[in-house]
Each structure stands twice: as C-alpha cells, then as structure tokens.
Structure 1
Amino acid sequence: MIRFLTFFLCLFAVTTSAQTIRYERSQGKETATYDEIIAFYQQLDRQYDEAKLIEVGPTDAGKPLHLFLLDPDRRFTPTAGKVTLLINNGIHPGEPEGIDASMLWVRDMLSRKTLPRNVLLAIVPVYNIGGCLNRGVSRVNQNGPLAYGFRGNARNYDLNRDFIKTDTEDARTWQTMFQTYKPHVLIDNHTSNGADYQHIMTYFTTLKDKLHPAVAGYMAQTLQPELDKALTAKGFEPVPYVNNFTDTPESGFPAFNDSPRYSSGYAALFNCIGFVVELHMWKDYPSRVKGTLVFMDEALRIVGRDAATLIRNKQRADEAVSTQTEFALTYKLDRTKRDLIKFNGYEARYKPSDVSGLKRLYYDRTAPFTKQIPYQNSYVPDVLVRKPNAYVIPQGWTAIIDRLKRNGAPLQPLPADSLMTVQAYYIEDLKTAQRPFEGHYVHSNVAIRKESVQIQFYKGDYLVATDQPTNRYVVETLEPQGIDSFFAWNFFDSILGQKEHFSAYIFEDTAAELLKNDPALRKKLEERRAADKTFASDAEAQLEFVYRHSPYYETTHNRYPVYRIE
C-alpha cells in the first residue's frame, strides 16, 4: 500500500508539473528552457491519443528537431480533405512568445477536446535548439522575459536566412519536414524590432503579388480581413509589420519583401500562405504571449472553417505552376500604388542624449496618436525569365543536387553518355558583397549572356523537368539572376576563377600569328582600340583580348554549369 501510494504521488507530481509551465509559475516573467519544452510535449504525447511527438531529424546542436502533431483522427499524416497548418516556434529563441503560447494553447485544446477534425496541426516546439540552449539576455531592446535563447544557432547561423542555402543541419531537417507535410498555411512566431507604437500585434504575409491568384485572392480578401477583425475584437488590433528602420513610422512604409531565404518566402515557392507574426518588443511579455496565442487560435478557426477552400486553391496553384512558362526572379516596389492604414503611434521627439550630449530620438508615450499613414503593398516583377523544357546539371554538383532532391524536384539521371546542344549562360558581370553575410559573399546584379553550345554530358548527370509543382523552387534557385539563387549564395564560385593563363613573353609571338591568320580577329582588335583610348595604350589588355578570342582560352571560365534545354 505504501509503495502504491508513493508511485501515485510520483505520478501525480509528474502530471501536475506537466500541466503548468515556467511561464505560469513565474507569473509571466520567464520562458521555458529547452529541456522543459520537450518534457512538456512528451507528457502530452503520453497523455493524449490525439497527440504525437516525433523526431524529424538532426540539428547542428546534436539534438533532434521535434514536431508535435495534433490529429483527432489519430493518423498524424496529410490526408485528403484535411488542411495542414504548420506553426514554427523559436527560429529566434530570444523571441520566445510562440514557444510559451503554443504550450498553453495545445494543453487547453487537448484538455477541452476542441481540435478541429479537418485540420492536421503541426507544431515545431522550438526550431533553433542551439540558440535555445544558449540562454542569456542578448536582446537589450526587449521587455522580458528574464532570460531567453540566442538568435544564432549552434554554428551562429541565423536560421531565418537559411531556407534556400541550407548551410545548417537544422534547415536541412526543416525542409524535409516541410516537404513531408506540405502545409497549406505556415505561422512563424517572432518578436519585432524597430520603432515604438501602441500596437502589440504586427505581422506580415507572403507578398500577395508572388502567390498564384487563387491563393493570393483568398489570403488578401478573406483570411487576412477576418483575422484582423477577430484580433481587434480580442484587444490585439494589428498593423502590418513596421518595415521602417530609417524614419519614424508615421511617414509610412512598404510591405516586407520576403525573398525565399525567409520562412514565408520559402513557403511561397510551394503555394503555401505564410504568416510571420511579430509581437512588439517593448510590450510586456504576458501581453505578447497572449497576442501570439490569440493569433494562432483565430487562424486555426478560420483555416478549419475554410479547409476545403484552402485545399482546392493550393491544388489549383500547383497545377498552374506546373504549366507556367514565365517566372519572376526579383521584385521591385510599385511606388505608384499605396493604401492608407490606421496606425496607433506615439509622437517622436528629440532631446539631448545623456551619453553623448547630442540629439537623440525617443517616443513619447504620454503623447499617443491615431493617424492614417501610407502603406505600400504592391510589388511587380523586376527580372523575368522563361523556363526551359528542362535543366541539365552535371552530377559533380552534389550540393545542388541534394537540395533539389530534398525539395521534391524530379531529377532523372542520364542513362548513357550524351553529346547535347544546350543553352549556356556566361557570367558577364556581378556585384559581390564586401563582407560575409551568413557565411557567404552574396552576389547581386548578375549580368549574363546566353549561347547555344554543345556539351558532353555523362551517364549519371541529371535532367530536371520543369512540368511539375516545384517549378518555382527549381527556377528561382537555378536561374543565376534570382535574388536567392544558388549562384547568388556562392555555390558556383569555382567557375569564376580562371584556371589557365599565359606568359606574355611567349604568347606575344602566338598572338601575332593568330592575328596574321585571322583577319576577323584583327579587325575586332582594331575596332576596340579605336573605340577605347585606354585600351589602345595598354599592351597587356590587348594581349588579353587576343587570348580571350583564341582557341587557347578555357571554355568553362564564367560558364554557368546548369544548362537549359529549350
């Protein structure tokens, strides 16, 4: 009897511990540690048949990425007629509202049996495990909690810049998860930076101009307006993410251009609606947690109600992308269009700094205001490209091939050696960042020329078809002018380095013989000298000109090694 009572008391203690979290025990002053987060979800897995905690794969921290699945049908896999909502928490663990809000939210839904039957709810308890373990007070501009995780992962990468380049084990595992569950809607929970204002709730969505009209129309005309109305009714009147870091917000600001390096931009490549929720950093932590919980709860309600519409819209978009012929690689803000939105702010004032004695900005919370301010939410394609019938990638580019496979691109190995006529890009010009960004010297403003060439390919090289739903991912990563293409992220930098050259004192005689035997080349040289006085006075430049127009110049220099079959 004593042994049974001891066992019961131990069980009761475990159960009770799982029912309350650090956030509650500290009256909203603290956020859960990594071990507490995982133990909490493990307990719910044991306690409820409708809940399942799985290990998706490895991370740079040496611990597995977990995914918590809620399904009243207990299947825990994508099924026909069921919409998938993916919640991502702790990509920046110093912004932990989503971590605590999700724990409170799922505990309540499970205990009250309120899971919608037509939604598979998938929650990442904490994505950036290395950052979560690196607990401290690094976000000086944030009002609580007392301690929290760090922005960088175990290798100091910002995971919300890694959705295309996937330098981290974390991102590779996350992509595998995303492609397995193929969500219709993604919510990525964050805390804002920047100006001060009255709003607790800000967020941005995937740019409407990037999505297929069926998906974008529902998002902009139904989902967002209803969500905004519900949030306002519950005390969290939202405003678009305040994308303004150079001026005060009342001057207006544009919608955030979420390129594919970000979670919502990556999701858009697969016709998934993305929400990035940004609770205001200087509001008290309990208000931020509650706001995050309300956002998720209202989004789940609407998604569950409109499950059939979401499923149908994504199917239509996937089918359309399979046959789409033209794709945007970059977008620019359409400055001719703007809306006026209600903004609840604080007057921006200036006073002498106690540090420097010079003028400093501050926001006067004793002087709130409500104004209509300009908001620009229209983007237009800047660089467009027509897709080829297929791409060809030599098998040696394994980093690219691995990424394509992980994201569902259909790769067909060549069954035999083949001499093929293809369209090849040559890199004519580019700009390269002077300092590394997330481990890369990123390329931009890439200028290309295209030539028809014969290339010898070999058995095991890959054809990539462009008649399938992953076309946007394939085109935007493989076209070198894409803002987040694999070329932009330095995966092909080896082609930019010349491997052979000449010794001038030897090549002088060879070049003279080339010009003697090739009148057309001599004419090109003379025309260039006549047009460019600097060139005409530079013997080395003229020798280089002849070399580059000779059969000795390597054909692979600056030739982009992903080829187009048109």
Structure 2
Amino acid sequence: MKTLYLAVLAALALPVFADNHLPPVAAWQGASESLIQPAHPWVTPAELTGLTDSPDYQSTMTYLKKLVESAPSLRLEVLGQSPQGRDIVLVKASQQPDLIGRSGRPTLLVQAGIHSGEIDGKDAGLMLLRDIVHGDKAALLNNVDLLFIPILSVDAHERRGSFNRMNQRGPAIQGWRSTAQNLNINRDYAKIDSPEVRAVLKAINQYQPDLYLDIHVTDGEDYQYDITYGFNEPFASLSPNGASWLSQVYRPAIDKALSRQGHIPGPLVFGLDPQDFSKGLSGSTSTPRFSNGYGDVRHLPTVLVENHSLKPYKQRVLGTYVMLEQTLKLLQEQGKVLQLAKKADENARPQQQVLAFKAAEQPDLIQFKGIRYELVQSDILKGPYVKWTGEPKEYKDLPVYWEKVPAQEVEVPKAYWIPPQYQDVIERLALHGVKMSKISSAKTLELQQLVASEPRFAEKPFEGRFGVSASFDTRWQNVSLPAGSVRVSTDQPLGALAVALLQPQAPDSFFSWGFFHGMFERTEYFETYALIPWIEQQLKTDTKLKQAFAEAEKQDDKLKKDGRARLNWFYQRSPFYDQSYLKYPVLLER
C-alpha cells in the first residue's frame, strides 16, 4: 500500500503551497502529532505528504475501498451520483454494520467536503478509520456506530488547483467551494435542489443518526483558535433538549480533549466590524438552509465545525481527528442520554414556532483569544485595511450579540393542505422524511387562506433561485380540495420542519425560495367595452357593491380621478377576476 501511494504522489508532482501573502502564523507543536503514522502499512495518502496535501477523488476512493475490503466492521454504500456522474459514498463503521439504524446504538454521522476546498474532515476521517480497523482504537465502536461521508461535493473536489482558497493554509491542492452546477450546497438543506444534499438526507432518513458533524474551514478574521465549532444554542433552538446536551455535555468534553492534545478550541462567532474587532462579535442562529439550522429544526443535534483557515493543514486535520475520536468516546458514555434528549424534542408539540431570530440589543461578554492587528493605509485601496500581526491578544470582555430574539413567530396549524399540482413540493417533503396523507376523492373543508401583498422579488439569483418575500393577510373560506391533495400534519416528529418549509413567512420556506411564483401572475384580463356595461348593470342591482365603492372613493383620491383604477376596483370584485391571484396555494388547517 505505501509503495503504491508514494508512486502516485510522485507522479502528481505536487506544487508547494505558497502562503507568503497570508498573515504570520505561530509555530505549532501538539501531542496530537503522534497520530501521524507514516510507517504504518495502511498509511493514508495525506500522511505521506506530512499532512500538507490531500489526495484526489480517485486516490481517495482507491484507498477507501481497499480499507473497507480489509475490515469486516466496515461497509461502503453509494448514496447517489453527482451531476457529473461520480459516486457519493458513505462508509459505515460498526461491530454490526448491517444493523446501523436498527440496533438502538448511538450513531454519529460525520460529513466532510460539502465545500471541497475545506477537506480537513476527509483526511482526519481516513486516519481514524485506519486506526479503528488496523490500529488500537477498535474500542471506539463499542456500542457506537459511525457513518462517514468523506467527500460530499465530489465534482467540486475534482475542480482542483493550488489557487482555489486564497485565504487558507493548505492543503497544497484544494477543491472548489461550489458544485458543478455552481451551487453552494451548504445553502441547500431546505430546498434540496442538489443531488449532493439529497444524498445526505437519504442517509439521515435511513439511519436516523443521533449526532451530526459537518466539517468546514472558516473565512474571515484571524484569532488564536484552530478548531471552532457551534450549534444553535439552547436560548434560540427549536430542539432545546438536544441543544442543552450539546452545550452542557458535548462542548466541555470536546474542549477538554482538544486542549489536552495541544489545540485551542473556540466558539463559532464572527466579527461585527472588519476594521474594529473591539466592537464585538455576532453569534448566529442558523436557519434551515444550513446544516446546523436544518438539524435544529428536524431535531437532529448538529455541530458545524469551522477549522481556522489560517492555521496549517496538519494542525487542522489533527484537531479534527481529536474531535472525532472524543465524540465517539463521549457517545459511549452519554449516547443514551442524547437519544433521550432527541426523543423529547421529537415528542414536543409547541403551539408557537419561531421562524427566525434577530440579534439581541444587549450583548453577552466573553473572553476571546484574538490576534493583534493594525490598520494600514493602502494606496491601492485608497483607504485603511486590517493587517494581522500574528501576535496573540486577549480580549477580557468582548461583546457578543447573539441572534436570540424572535423576529418572526407563528401559531402552529394542525396541518397544511397542498393541492396535487404541486408535485415538486410534495416530492421534496417526502425526501425530507415528512409524513403526509393523500385524499382519494375531492372534499370541501373550511381552511385558512393566506393572501400575499407587497411582494418583493430578489433582483438577482441566489443559489440558482430568485427568492421572494411578502406580507400576508388571512382569510377563512370553504375550499374544494381535488383528489390527490396532500395533508401534512404538524403532529409528527418532523412537524417543526414542515412549518419551516410550508409557512411562507419562514426565511427558508419553499415560498421564500421561489417555488410558488405562479401565484403572482395573471393570465386573464378585461376589455373595457365588456367591463363598463357589466359595472353599469351591477350598480343598478347590487346596492352593497354601490355602497362599498362610494366608501372606497371617499378614502382613496386615486379612485376619484383615475378611470383605470376605478375599472380595476370593480374588476377585482367581479366573478371574472382570477380568484387564485396572490393566494398562497398551501392552505392551513386550524
């Protein structure tokens, strides 16, 4: 094995990663360096480079397939194909790999390479799997199962180059952020346009993991931390029991393990002002477009790992290894407690649901391990920019403005009704795992209809879609539902997810992503020669209509002066007007 990969790497003639444009970095040594085993018979391709580079897709798959073939505790499953036809694979590691998802053992799902330039998790995971099946760490699978996606965005992984990540130290050759369809699929968890994220949901629905780790590398500021991570905190979580476990059990154990191995773990926060770090930080509460926001709304405890881009690749990979190993150890001890917390969230049926949070006006204060910087005048920029010096700086009381104030909250309906013509939405709900029931014959129900006003369309596409937002009025009406209509009850474990996807005010609802643009179009209009005689006739026979127009004319100067506005007023109240215009087609059952 070792001879094979030495030959492969030599043939590639890999360039040396140049980082002289990046801020200075402190030399690092840690106990986790002992994890590198260049003389091991199953040495990984990345270890042969001293963890300065990462193998391509084919070399990764070759190593992985041979590793799986060599160990009865491993299985390899193809979850789907990428747009360019590459396999998206899942490694199953267990003492009983064929029973994962059915045995009741705590299950960890680890995903690497959703942004394939940020591939730390792949190489850490390969090392850990090697040490489990051909080393001294088989006990990590005692009563715990591991699911590992080494590369999610496989096409982007092969858009390889040494200039793909300007602000990141290694690996020498990096993948690309977006997929072959130019989608940033860490924005795709709600709308699931991509086959890559659909593959993840297939694994989640099939194996029902108890904990989900999504491994990235940061952008942005410099600081001392090499491994940062976060989740929707208990004070702003739709899964408060799982979030409390992450906060009170997971974070202290992981921080301790990383610190013991020479790493510096830190919170997942971002600077408010790029030129004045002392103004503080923002702490985000993710919506369901992101992995950790999606996990929160479907009651799957999810940790977003963001290794620090300015730390060397070796340091980041080893920190990731430590984090994965300690997570498995913790699940040995606390996995059943986590399962109970997860079940409690799934069984909860809150009457209100927060759709989005905004930042608190009053900050929390934290100690923060920063890096000193200078504001340097630039003739190119025609202004100042931040220049990081590499020197540690301790902030004792740095303000953090957490997104923990409800910005949009709704009463949870009993159910949503979707007409059968919206098969795309119905199919995506099924891919999410949301339970639905279909009526075989038409029926009439009194339901709530949401009517949009003041629609605001995006001026340019985002993640392949033109989004929209609107205000809504609510009306009760008797609705005739055709055969094939689907009822989505909120009385189910994924009820909160159904609300997040079907309540149109939600930031990542199907409505907000643009699945219902047809409701904003009219295809039938009036001719003046036909409408005026109709109006004249109605004013003679319909006293209520006549009075309503008189009242409206008093309150609206435009109706007094603008003939076209007068015609439109009557047309909108005529039986000829499109009764579906501006009406959200998904109806609410209360």
TM tier, smaller: over 0.9
Cα pair distance change 1:544/1:29, threshold 3 Å: same
Which residue number in structure 1 is paired with residue 393 of structure 2?
368
1:195 CA displacement: 1.0
Structure 2 CA distance for aligned equivalents of residues 250 and 237 of structure 1: 21
Aligned pairs for 1:488-507 within 5 A:
488-507=512-531
CA contact (8 A) 2:233 2:247 kept: no
CA contact (8 A) 1:52 1:68 kept: yes
Structure 2 CA distance for aligned equivalents of residues 211 and 294 of structure 1: 29
- Larger mean Cα displacement after TM superposition, 478-487 or 424-433: 424-433
CA contact (8 A) 1:196 1:345 kept: yes
1:465 CA displacement: 2.1
Structure 2 residue 185 is the aligned partner of structure 1 residue 159 = yes
Aligned pairs for 1:273-352 within 5 A:
273-320=301-348, 323-336=349-362, 338-352=363-377
- Larger mean Cα displacement after TM superposition, 410-419 or 553-562: 410-419
- Larger mean Cα displacement after TM superposition, 500-509 or 215-224: 500-509
Structure 2 CA distance for aligned equivalents of residues 373 and 195 of structure 1: 15
Structure 1 CA distance for aligned equivalents of residues 241 and 291 of structure 2: 21
1:434 CA displacement: 1.1
1:59 CA displacement: 2.4
Cα pair distance change 1:115/1:459, threshold 3 Å: same
Structure 2 residue 246 is the aligned partner of structure 1 residue 222 = no
Cα pair distance change 1:11/1:277, threshold 3 Å: closer
Structure 2 residue 465 is the aligned partner of structure 1 residue 440 = yes
Q: Which ranges of structure 1 fall in alignment gaps of 5 or more residues?
A: 1-6
Structure 1 CA distance for aligned equivalents of residues 328 and 417 of structure 2: 42
Helix, strand or coil for the counterpart of 2:518? helix
CA contact (8 A) 2:205 2:433 kept: yes
Structure 1 CA distance for aligned equivalents of residues 505 and 543 of structure 2: 36
Q: Normalising to structure 1: TM-score of the pair?
A: 0.92
Cα pair distance change 1:340/1:232, threshold 3 Å: farther
Aligned pairs for 1:66-465 within 5 A:
66-111=89-134, 112=136, 113-136=138-161, 137-208=163-234, 209-244=236-271, 246-247=273-274, 248-320=276-348, 323-336=349-362, 338-353=363-378, 355-356=380-381, 358-366=383-391, 368-377=393-402, 379-444=404-469, 446-465=470-489
Structure 1 CA distance for aligned equivalents of residues 460 and 451 of structure 2: 25
Structure 2 CA distance for aligned equivalents of residues 63 and 218 of structure 1: 37
**Paired amino acid for 2:524:** E
Cα pair distance change 1:279/1:354, threshold 3 Å: farther
Aligned pairs for 1:4-43 within 5 A:
19-43=42-66
Q: Normalising to structure 2: TM-score of the pair?
A: 0.89
Superposed CA deviations along residues 384-410 of structure 1, whole A, max 9, x for unmatched, are: 222222222111111111111122222
CA contact (8 A) 2:301 2:342 kept: no
Cα pair distance change 1:77/1:140, threshold 3 Å: same
CA contact (8 A) 2:416 2:487 kept: yes
Structure 2 residue 550 is the aligned partner of structure 1 residue 550 = no
Superposed CA deviations along residues 473-519 of structure 1, whole A, max 9, x for unmatched, are: 11111111111000001111111111211123442332333333333
Cα pair distance change 1:18/1:396, threshold 3 Å: farther
Superposed CA deviations along residues 286-318 of structure 1, whole A, max 9, x for unmatched, are: 111111112222222212210110111111221
Helix, strand or coil for the counterpart of 1:463? strand
Superposed CA deviations along residues 329-355 of structure 1, whole A, max 9, x for unmatched, are: 22222333x332221112231223263
CA contact (8 A) 1:242 1:249 kept: no
- Larger mean Cα displacement after TM superposition, 12-21 or 535-544: 12-21
Q: Which ranges of structure 2 fall in alignment gaps of 5 or more residues?
A: 9-37
Superposed CA deviations along residues 409-432 of structure 1, whole A, max 9, x for unmatched, are: 222121212233222111123322
**Paired amino acid for 2:277:** P
CA contact (8 A) 2:105 2:144 kept: yes
Helix, strand or coil for the counterpart of 2:582? coil
